[in-house]
Structure 1
Amino acid sequence: MNLLTVFLQQAGGGDYSFLIMMVAIFAIMYFFMIRPQNKKQKEIANFRKNLEVGQSVITAGGIYGKIKEIEDNAAIVEIASGVKIKVDKNSIYADAQATQTK
């Protein structure tokens, strides 16, 4: 017996408990999974939009550094004295240690 058959049998009988249960499961998934993920993505996008020269960052590969220059879709990050790499903005994250010390 598939899910559609069960739903039609219960809906046809006037018992809406299955429908209510499905709505409740979707609401729980929305508030505990979808909504927090969307909020986190907006925070990351806002952080990347407001990057500043001299800010400590971490790349997606786990490289710590400071921003030296900012271009349209990339940033120049200094990872050691005199060692600079060009990194796409989409792979830059906030340095947790730098944000905790402020």
Structure 2
Amino acid sequence: MPQKLQQGISQLPRYAPLINKLSHSLQLVAVTQLVSATQSIVMQLNNPNLADNERKILEDNLIVTWAAGLTNFSSQVLQPLLLKAAYRVEGKPSQAS
């Protein structure tokens, strides 16, 4: 099994480190979207004329927004770690960013 894994990993594309660096910039975009959505929802929640059911919907949207943001961020953090592990198995740790 380890031999098959090493053979599959040895065929990692040469552009994988570049794609890895691109994923870091996408993290910044995701955080910006999360902050913007949070600010918008909080501003709407500050409206005193808001009905209870509307407030509940906005609170649910805020929860879903943060859950999606955390899921996205965790997958973006996990991807470089897996790439580094793949390069270590391949024997090229210097190529992992």
- Highest RCO, 1 vs 2 (Cα 8 Å, sep ≥ 6): 2
TM, length-normalised to structure 2 = 0.38
Calculate the TM-score normalised by the size of structure 1: 0.37
Q: Larger % of helix: which? A: 2
Q: Which has the higher strand share?
A: 1
Larger CA Rg, structure 1 vs 2 = 1
